[in-house]
Amino acid sequence: MSLDKLENQQGRAGRDYGKGLYIGGEWLAAHDNKSFDVLNPATGAVWGQVPDAGRLDAQAAIAAAASAQPAWAGLTFYQRGVLLGRVADVLERRRDEFIAALTAECGGWVRKSNFEITYAPTVYRAAAAEAYRQVGEMMPSDHHKVSMVQRVPLGVVSVISPWNVPLLLSSRGLGVALAMGNTVVLKPSEETPITGGLMLAEVFEEAGMPPGVLNVVTCSRERVAEVGDELVVNPLIKAISFTGSTAVGKQIAATAGGLLKKACVELGSKDSLLVLDDADLDRAVSAARFGAFFHQGQICMATEKIIVDRSRADEFLAKFIIATKELRVGDPTRLENQIGPIINRKQADAVERHLARAIEQGVTVEHGGGRDGLFFEPTVITGATPQMAIFHDEVFGPVANIITADDEDHAIALANDSEYGLSASVMTRDESRGLRVADRLETGMAHVNDTTIYDEPTIPFGGVKNSGMGRHGGRWSAETFTTTRWMTIERGGRKTPF
């Protein structure tokens, strides 16, 4: 189905997806039969209803994963790769369903939903390729032993995924972890439990994945603390993949560290796009507009600081405002509406507070600033300084913050003046200069002449400082979700003292 035919299509109701919690290959109600509503943020209507799991349900899912793990790890790399490939095949067959469901549950523009279902199958195909990668090496031995180093699966991995890009980010936590022989318990966000979890469980079931390899527990905000705690502290859990807020991620990492468990956490950000004095302004405006406003700015890699050389600032601002005025706010199922709703009232209120405080502290609103329920206008502000909260705090909304720099060194200093360090980009006509500047930015990822929002399934995705620790993607995920083991064979070359 083409995108134009998906305009105004809300898709099947969320209640039609999944039949309960997915534990050990079975669809089960929560132990106490509780459930909760899932809302469509664009309409405010109840879109679906899903089980509200508690700690007992999480324990059952973990036990099912632990029971299935030895047999899953015992399959050949080829068998695991084939099954992950089938997951990708099913996702592609159900493409239209996922576009409609993602648009309804997340409130994202239909083209964002199209991107997500296009990208997600590549995550599983790349993970399948990781199953074929070298998982060990031979070491030299002073005593002529056969000395081998192996990468072996950890066991059960818990994946706690966010609401903003639910299908993609759940898949990112699953793919390579499964390819390496681990089993998984997935807890999607309470805002997007269907596209981030239950629909994925249906896909895995249809692909013929063995029972217990993937288990999905959904829970409401009221129960997220007990379920999330179980997915970290349970002794059968050996590693945690978490994407979400810095405050929660720090707590998870600290708890996991105390229990000597691995934790890969991707957290908040305050990403900068630097426009140097020799930049192609049309290209810079395009990259900045996409980075600031895609999915209403609700992306971990969103461009929250646009740092422009003073000599180009007036021209850039004029072009950027014209480009921003072209964006339309409204029903995200319609192709002409690039800006949909904020995910919920709590987040919309937070964006409004960030902006109101910035205005009180002296910023100028150059465009936008209005709100209608969960719909927030794309907003452009100027005049922020390092003394203001909005210079440092993650807004996670459609607010483009344009900041003027005196020169290249000043631009780099403004970008690095942050507790975060996820992504950054540099706009310049001189690629060598761009690389030199990018090399000085304190981020886990940096791009030259591109937006801050960019990802591929085989790269080391992650940040520094308060943006997290560990890496997802390719062989870096393989390292995250395995442990190193040394084995030897003695062939008589070394005598013991007895």
Q: Are 105 and 10 within 8 A, CB to CB?
A: no
Distance CA 215, CA 213 (A): 7
- The verdict on residue 454 lying in a domain is no
CATH for 161? 3.40.605.10
- The verdict on residue 420 lying in a domain is yes
Q: Based on the domain organization, do 350 and 438 belong to the same domain?
A: yes
Distance CA 245, CA 466 (A): 10
Q: What DSSP letter does each residue of 4-60 carry, written as one string?
A: GGGTT---S-GGGS-SSEEETTEEE--TT--EEEEE-TTT-SEEEEEE---HHHHHH
Instruction: Look at residues 47, 58, 50, 42 and name the one whose alpha carbon lies nearest to residue 19.
Output: 50
- The pLDDT tens digits for 191-204 are 999 999 999 999 99
Question: Looking at the predicted structure, is the pLDDT value of residue 1 above 50?
Answer: no
Question: Looking at the predicted structure, is the pLDDT value of residue 218 above 50?
Answer: yes
- The pLDDT tens digits for 20-44 are 999 999 999 999 999 999 999 999 9
pLDDT for residue 255: 97
- The pLDDT tens digits for 336-355 are 999 999 999 999 999 999 99
Active site residue: 219, 300, 366, 479, which one? 300
Q: Based on the domain organization, do 258 and 285 belong to the same domain?
A: no
CATH for 361? 3.40.309.10
Per-residue pLDDT band for 487 (boundaries 50, 70, 90) equals very high
Distance CA 429, CA 309 (A): 14
Instruction: Look at residues 394, 363, 366 and name the one whose alpha carbon lies nearest to residue 379.
Output: 366
Q: Based on the domain organization, do 343 and 198 belong to the same domain?
A: no
Q: Based on the domain organization, do 376 and 260 belong to the same domain?
A: no
- The verdict on residue 379 lying in a domain is yes
pLDDT for residue 496: 79
- The pLDDT tens digits for 224-245 are 999 999 999 999 999 999 999 9
Q: Token pair 């950890």 is at which residue?
A: 154
Task: Tell me if residue 300 is catalytic.
Answer: yes
Helical (H) or strand (E) element with 403: strand 399-405
- The verdict on residue 291 lying in a domain is yes
Task: Tell me if residue 230 is catalytic.
Answer: no
- The verdict on residue 493 lying in a domain is no
Q: How many CA atoms lie within 13 A of 351 on its CB side?
A: 29
Q: Based on the domain organization, do 301 and 392 belong to the same domain?
A: yes
Question: Looking at the predicted structure, is the pLDDT value of residue 296 above 60?
Answer: yes
Considering the entire predicted model, what is its pTM?
0.95
pLDDT for residue 8: 44
Distance CA 139, CA 127 (A): 27
148, amino acid identity? M
pLDDT for residue 19: 82
Q: Based on the domain organization, do 235 and 310 belong to the same domain?
A: no
Active site residue: 97, 266, 394, 479, which one? 266
Q: How many domains does the chain have?
A: 2
Q: Based on the domain organization, do 158 and 174 belong to the same domain?
A: yes
Distance CA 303, CA 454 (A): 11
Q: Based on the domain organization, do 286 and 369 belong to the same domain?
A: yes
- The verdict on residue 457 lying in a domain is no
Q: Based on the domain organization, do 380 and 437 belong to the same domain?
A: yes
Distance CA 491, CA 179 (A): 34
Q: How far is CA 69 from CA 125, 240, 343, in A?
A: 21, 16, 36
First and final CA of the chain: distance in angstroms? 76
| Cα angle 167-421-458, degrees, rounded to a multiple of 5 | 45
pLDDT for residue 7: 43
- The verdict on residue 458 lying in a domain is no
Q: Based on the domain organization, do 188 and 321 belong to the same domain?
A: no
Q: Are 274 and 365 within 8 A, CB to CB?
A: no
How many percent of the chain have pLDDT more than 70? 97
Question: Looking at the predicted structure, is the pLDDT value of residue 2 above 50?
Answer: no
Q: Based on the domain organization, do 62 and 150 belong to the same domain?
A: yes
Q: What is the mean pLDDT of the chain?
A: 95
- The verdict on residue 147 lying in a domain is yes
Measured in whole angstroms, the distance separating CA 461 from the mean position of its chain's CA atoms is 9
Query: Which structural domain range is residue 318 located in?
Result: 271-448
pLDDT for residue 11: 54
Q: Based on the domain organization, do 398 and 441 belong to the same domain?
A: yes
Per-residue pLDDT band for 495 (boundaries 50, 70, 90) equals confident
Per-residue pLDDT band for 16 (boundaries 50, 70, 90) equals confident
